[in-house]
Amino acid sequence: MTAEPRTMLLVADRIHVLGDHLPVEALLIHAGRVAAIGSEAEVRAAAPARVPTMRLPGATITPGLTDAHVHLTAWALARQRVELGGARTLAEGLERIAADAAARPDGWVQGLGWDLHRWGGMPDRAALDRILPERPAYFESHDIHAAWLNSEALRRCGITAETPDPEGGQIVRDPATAEPTGILLENAKQLAVAHLPQPSPAEVRSALLDAQREAHRLGLTGVHSVEPTGLADFGVLEAADELRLRVLQHIPLAHLDAAIELGVRSGYRSPGWIRVGGVKMFLDGALGSRTAWMREPYEGSAEERGIQTLPGDEFRNIVRRAAATGIAATVHAIGDAAVALALDVLEEIPAPAAVPHRIEHLQLCPPELWERVGRSGIVASMQPVHLRSDIPAAERHWGHARSRGAYAFAPLLRAGATLALGSDVPVETCDPRP
């Protein structure tokens, strides 16, 4: 097999090179780097004789894109399971589940993507029991902050009326009987996750390679991964010389002690394309599941303020301990109470020099906090694609006045904040095209 040439000339109608340059028509690549740009004549003059040339008439070439918030392994595996994101109703979702169960007659039935707003409310175990009375079933919501189980799955997981809610989570219950309805919110999902069958390493590798090809097809060449198993998953690909994405991998909170013991620091690089980010923590849930932690109650409720998934003192201690050992913080915060706490603590405890602190999502950032975010140097990692599905829910759950602070991309930029834009795939599509 002939090795790929180390030098190549690309010629297209428009090549966007960013910076202060206007689009050009030719680009010279040497040893994996851009060596020259300009007209074809200019670039050819700088190239070796008989340089291999790829002509792409009618094409526009752009630099590869980096998606700054992905759950790549979850997306990869979800592509192999029941896809409920396109189901417009509960009935349509049940049809998809029944069809998949018939095609795979053994074991757990799993999937992702149901949306309580699209379906007109939370589903329950009774709906699943009608089509899956004997096989266990587990389906995560489109925002990955809620899970929907049938009775057999609850039985196998040992979740009953007597099971207490875990810290930072909720077992949704029938108000008359206290029996679980089949919905688990936030940290309560872990009561079921521990019982799910785990894919084999070969299955994970195959799914990731398929997802990587799809990412390339969409123009993605880099990702910031919040996948709990990402370091191991990407490490397997890198060891086999199969990793073709540049990866910033955040450290799951559960692995912080091990990372500190091993001397891992934010900014460390593997021999290949993996770089270590910050320690990933969750301060709250999500808008769609009404678990985003709010200063004031949700619309239509006197007391419901979402779920604070990590106590404030514990959060502060984790950030301080991590920063002291060279590890930055990467903090999930969606509701205004969560965003305010994240900002308070990350301003108080500076990040190590190699990698800045980040707030992931920052969906409801009140106007009085915009200037603070801009001055702080904290990266605002945000997902514009959420606008498409979340704006109606924001108006409904947060009300018009509060929603002024939602998705404040332009105000934060004007305040001097650094934005890192991503998709949150598989919560939303990672296709950057309109």
In this predicted model, what pLDDT tens digit does every residue of 212-263 receive, in sequence order?
999 999 999 999 999 999 999 999 999 999 999 999 999 999 999 999 999 9
Dihedral pair phi/psi, residue 96, rounded to 5°? -65, -40
Q: Which of 64, 132, 66, 61 is nearest to 98 (CA)?
A: 132
- Quickly list H helices, 104-157: 116-119, 125-131, 151-157
Half-sphere exposure of 301 (CA within 13 A, CB side): 14
**Bridge partners for 279 per DSSP:** 251, 329
The distance between the two most distant Cα atoms of the chain, rounded to a whole number of Å, is 81
How high is the pLDDT of residue 1?
40
CB 85 within 8 A of CB 142: yes
User: Three-state SS for 33?
Assistant: strand
Q: Which of 298, 303, 374, 301 is nearest to 336 (CA)?
A: 298
How high is the pLDDT of residue 413?
98
* Tokens, residue 35: 């060596």
∠100-101-102 over CA atoms, to 5°?
90
Rounded Cα distance between 251 and 165, Å, is: 26
User: Three-state SS for 295?
Assistant: coil
Measured torsion, CA atoms of residues 26, 29, 34, 40, in degrees rounded to the nearest 10: -20
In the DSSP assignment, the letter for residue 120 is: T
Dihedral pair phi/psi, residue 176, rounded to 5°? -85, -35
Sheet strands (E) in 168-310: 169-173, 180-186, 220-225, 246-252, 274-282
How high is the pLDDT of residue 393?
86
Query: Looking at the chain, how many residues does it have?
Result: 434
Residue 30, H or E segment: strand 24-30
* Tokens, residue 147: 């899970």
In the DSSP assignment, the letter for residue 403 is: G
Rounded Cα distance between 310 and 314, Å, is: 7
Model pLDDT for residues 313-337, shown as the tens digit of each residue: 999 999 999 999 999 999 999 999 9
How high is the pLDDT of residue 323?
98
**Bridge partners for 9 per DSSP:** 28, 53
Radius of gyration of the chain (CA): 24
pLDDT beneath 70, residues of the chain? 1-5, 434
Rounded Cα distance between 430 and 428, Å, is: 7
Where do we find the tokens 């975010």? 373
